[in-house]
């Protein structure tokens, strides 16, 4: 056995275990999901009735459009719109009548788009995915091809998780303005995302860039205290208002300061801190200032975990000294 290799590997293990996950998870709750089947040939019949309408059974190449409302992201209230469009294929080695034959079992070809907003109606970003919707052990997984807003440059996967109410299928004769009245399906979907840039606390050779109000750094000899407002230098928080231009396109301006558009959360020792402001650092292309109030933490004074979350994506953990 190569004992030198074993010793080197053993030295790496603590660092490897301390690493944060490099895939972000968004769990999105959708409600009132309805799939409108394009089963009419006369355009005058589209969206022509406000009552429930039976749709024709599955048939190859029949198009459809789906719509649903976003009600929560990662357990927090949110708003938004999910929509898809595609064609029925239902490929199988032994397909039913009017469906596609294939040497594997699969499902329909679908393109999905989701627009995510905060609970107060602030647009955060968009995700787009497409592909054959797998079945069975494959799972209904689509590749996420990209995003906009806070999700610019992401890649990943999108799939169903749990249906609490089945999706309702109807004819395109049904008026979509009554979708929420007539009701539809409820489902929890997952997006596994690899962001182009993670939200994170800036770390230099001196440690995390977290400062007291007087500009002096938080250190073991000058720890933070519960109730104190600290200043953090951060990265990866996305577009700022009012322009919502991609971060890095131009330096952040002076007063009036450019506020980060995405929801931003800070936790200290696992407890949520009050975020007082979140702005682009004036003159910088990719640095942000986040002011937050230190919550009371459990346990003895010492080094505690500090984590930054933006657009529901949690960044890597750093540690600061808290008295």
- Quote the pLDDT of residue 159: 83
Q: Do residue 37 and residue 174 come from a single domain?
A: yes
What's CA 80's distance to the chain center, in Å? 12
| 132: confidence class by pLDDT, cuts 50, 70, 90 | confident
Establish if 247 belongs to a structural domain: yes
Q: Do residue 117 and residue 206 come from a single domain?
A: no
- pLDDT tens string 260-274: 999 999 999 999 999
| pTM greater than 0.75 (yes/no) | yes
Q: Do residue 273 and residue 302 come from a single domain?
A: yes
Domain boundary at 194, 226, 250, which? 194
Helix (H, G, I), strand (E, B) or coil at 304: strand
Range of the domain at 284: 200-322
- pLDDT tens string 175-218: 999 999 999 999 999 999 999 999 999 999 999 999 999 999 99
Q: Do residue 160 and residue 251 come from a single domain?
A: no
CB 259 within 8 A of CB 239: no
CATH number of the domain encompassing residue 285:
2.60.40.10
Domain boundary at 167, 194, 221, which? 194
- pLDDT tens string 15-34: 433 455 689 999 999 999 99
- Quote the pLDDT of residue 6: 43
- Quote the pLDDT of residue 16: 38
Q: Do residue 118 and residue 235 come from a single domain?
A: no
CB 293 within 8 A of CB 273: yes
Q: How many domains does the chain have?
A: 2
Q: Do residue 158 and residue 245 come from a single domain?
A: no
Establish if 4 belongs to a structural domain: no
DSSP per-residue string spanning 35-96: EEE---S-GGGTT-BSS--PPPPP-TT-EEEEEEEEEEETTEEEEEEEEEEEE----BSS--
The closest alpha carbon to 170, from 64, 287, 321, 272, belongs to 64
Q: What percent of the chain has pLDDT over 70?
A: 91
Domain boundary at 135, 161, 194, which? 194
CATH number of the domain encompassing residue 160:
2.40.480
| 66: confidence class by pLDDT, cuts 50, 70, 90 | very high
Helix (H, G, I), strand (E, B) or coil at 170: strand
CB 89 within 8 A of CB 106: yes
Q: Do residue 231 and residue 139 come from a single domain?
A: no
- pLDDT tens string 246-264: 988 999 999 999 999 999 9
Find the mean pLDDT for residues 117-145.
85
Q: Do residue 65 and residue 186 come from a single domain?
A: yes
> What radius of gyration, in Å, describes the C-alpha atoms of the chain?
24
- Quote the pLDDT of residue 8: 43
């Amino acid at each position: 056995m190569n004992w030198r290799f074993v010793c080197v590997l053993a030295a790496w293990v603590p660092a490897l275990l301390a690493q944060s996950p490099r895939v972000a998870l968004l769990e999105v709750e959708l409600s009132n999901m309805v799939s409108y089947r394009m089963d009419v040939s006369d355009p005058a019949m589209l969206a022509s009735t406000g009552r429930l309408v039976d749709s024709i059974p599955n048939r190859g190449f029949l198009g459809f459009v789906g719509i649903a409302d976003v009600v929560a992201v990662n357990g927090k209230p949110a708003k938004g719109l999910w929509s898809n469009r595609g064609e029925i294929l239902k490929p199988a080695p032994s397909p039913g009548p009017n469906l596609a034959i294939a040497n594997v079992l699969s499902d329909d070809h679908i393109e999905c788009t989701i627009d995510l907003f905060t609970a107060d109606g602030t647009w955060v970003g968009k995700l787009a995915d497409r592909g054959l919707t797998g079945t069975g052990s494959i799972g209904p997984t689509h590749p996420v091809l990209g995003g906009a807003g806070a999700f610019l440059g992401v890649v990943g996967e999108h799939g169903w998780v749990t249906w609490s109410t089945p999706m309702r299928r109807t004819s395109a004769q049904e008026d979509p303005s009554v979708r929420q009245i007539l009701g539809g399906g409820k489902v929890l979907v997952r997006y596994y995302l690899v962001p182009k840039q993670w939200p994170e606390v800036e770390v230099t050779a001196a440690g995390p860039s977290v400062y007291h109000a007087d500009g002096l750094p938080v250190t073991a000899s000058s720890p933070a205290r519960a109730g104190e407002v600290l200043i953090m230098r951060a990265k990866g928080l996305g577009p700022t208002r009012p322009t919502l231009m991609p971060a890095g396109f131009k330096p952040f301006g002076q007063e009036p300061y450019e506020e980060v558009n995405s929801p931003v959360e800070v936790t200290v020792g696992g407890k949520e801190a009050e975020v007082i402001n979140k702005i682009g650092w004036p003159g910088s292309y990719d640095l942000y200032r986040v002011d937050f109030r230190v919550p009371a933490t459990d346990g003895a004074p010492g080094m505690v975990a500090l984590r930054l979350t933006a657009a529901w994506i949690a960044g890597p953990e750093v540690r600061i000294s808290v008295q």
